[in-house]
A = this chain, B = another copy of it.
Amino acid sequence: MVDVNSLAALLPDGVVVTDPDILGGYRQDRAQDPEAGTPAALVRPANTEQVATVVRWAHERGVAIVPRGAGTGLSGGATAQDGALLLSTERMRDISVDPVTRTAVAQPGLLNAEVKAAVAEHGLWYPPDPSSFEICSIGGNAATNAGGLCCVKYGVTTDYVLGMEVVLADGTVVRLGGPRLKDSAGLSLTKLFVGSEGTLGIITELTLRLLPAQPPQSTVVASFATLEAACDAILAITGRLRPSMLEFMDSVAINAVEDQLRMGLDREAAALLVARSDAPGEHAGLEVAEIAALCEKAGATEVFATDDPAEGEAFTVARRVAIPALERKGPLLLEDVGVPLPKLGELVTGIAGIARRREVLVSVIAHAGDGNTHPLIVYNPADADESARAQQAFGEIMDLAIALGGTITGEHGVGRLKKAWLPNQVGPDVMALTRLIKSALDPQGILNPGAVL
């Protein structure tokens, strides 16, 4: 085990933590990776200079570093490794907002909700909205190219990152891009680091593009007696309109949410769609009316539309609490597979088949409008046989997504839990290309080893 005292000596008191009780709380992210190791130390730098000091120290010794945001990752991207440093960005929490350029410069440890709140003070909006937005960090969002509910209209994290400061594997600090909507000078390095899951560098600052505040949204909720009818409605909507949200819950999720919130969701429905429009003025209501009509045409058994923002927000919250509501039934394996929209029906029905064959409970919720689904596998870890079947289903769902021309992860990242499937999705040549870039930027392989590759 490396002696971290020489690192502690380079940094203010409290930055390097070796207390095993504290370390214990940092060994895993929300993926609860059972393979988590014992880190040499937890490092909590307060600024870029301290991050660079840590990375230079590790570079000189060949010590690995696992970067970590708020620990809400669902693919084990922040799983601690034996003898490595766990670098948490939690103390890096500054933000400044420029309302004229309509940009914010944020440090990575700030939560997504804190970024939203800070820019809202200037009448501005940072769109990407993972369901975990109240507890996930903006740095982690950038590292995984996180998505969310509004992405169907507004795009994902990479669409909002104009620049960043990154500490490279040898401790060099570089600034990429900046507060310019257009910049074709040199390679698109900013975009390369977004979604690199800490394997190429450690993001210490982000320049984010902002939009004017989102207009009030109108909302429509539709129940369907079959999954097929719900998928038909989704394709009819996305083929004609641009809703600001288009979410899907299956019967298991509907009932789990209803158990928790008692808000009158249709427990008999096979699927529920929640769609919103933020078109200006009365156009939101008109767009929602069009969506309602398309749902009815696709065979919805019940359709409810409202212009009341609070009422609409209640349904959005219902969709967001689906994961915690299902967690009450037992630990979850959270999937994040996506397919091109025309394949959504095949994916959803195929997942139901996998659940039947493996005799596990799988609930599907989805950012339906962009084909990004979250099959949630509920299992009892104390039951070895059920755990094995859950793991089999986890893999088979990714196999199915790949077979349908889809992706094993739409917005959570590959981390450690999904890396065995990445070569099946992208093929050996893209893996080789990925390794070329990784080796060029991190020849010792000290940055988040074991993640992605």
Contact = CB atoms under 8 A, between A and B. Distances in A.
Interface of A: 98-103, 144-147, 151-152, 155-156, 158-159, 168, 172-176, 178-189, 191-192, 194-196, 199-200, 211-212, 235, 238-242, 279-281, 283, 336, 338-342, 367, 370-372, 405-414, 418, 422, 425-427, 429-430, 432-434, 436-441, 452
Contacts of A189: 192, 430, 433-434, 437
A61 to B, nearest CB: 22
Contacts of A152: 181
A185 B425 contact: yes
Contact of A159 (B155, B192, B200, B338): B155
A152 B195 CA distance: 25
Given A187-B195, A187-B438, A437-B440, 4 more contacts: A100-B235, A179-B340, A184-B195, A184-B409
Contacts of A183: 338, 407, 409-410
Copies of this chain, count: 2
Contacts of A280: 279-280, 283
A187 B405 CA distance: 18
5 contacts: A98-B342, A151-B181, A168-B429, A172-B429, A186-B452
Nearest to A287: B280
Given A175-B430, A433-B168, A437-B437, A192 B184 contact: no
A418 B186 CA distance: 10
A241 B215 CA distance: 12
Contacts of A407: 178, 180, 182-185
A338 B181 CA distance: 9
Residue in A341, A412, A422 with the greatest tally of chain B CB atoms within 10 Å? A341
Nearest to A147: B182
Contacts of A178: 340, 405, 407
A402 to B, nearest CB: 10
Contact of A184 (B179, B239, B411): B411
Given A174-B430, A178-B340, A430-B176, A238 B184 contact: no
Most buried by B among A103, A191, A235, A241: A191
Given A430-B175, A433-B174, A184 B410 contact: yes
Contacts of A434: 186-187, 189
Given A211-B242, A429-B174, A433-B174, A370 B181 contact: yes
Contact of A440 (B235, B410, B440): B440
B188 A212 contact: no
Contact of A370 (B182, B341, B426): B182
Given A100-B342, A436-B441, A411 B182 contact: yes
A298 to B, nearest CB: 14
Nearest to A146: B184
Interface centre among A146, A372, A426, A432 (most CB of B within 10 A): A426
A147 B426 CA distance: 29
Contacts of A425: 185-186
B235 A182 contact: no
A414 B188 CA distance: 12
Contact of A186 (B147, B194, B426, B439): B426
Q: Which of A98, A371, A430 neighbours the largest number of chain B CB atoms within 10 Å of its CB? A: A430
Contacts of A172: 429, 432
Contact of A101 (B156, B186, B199, B340): B340
A413 B188 CA distance: 11
A196 B187 contact: yes
Contact of A185 (B102, B409, B429): B409
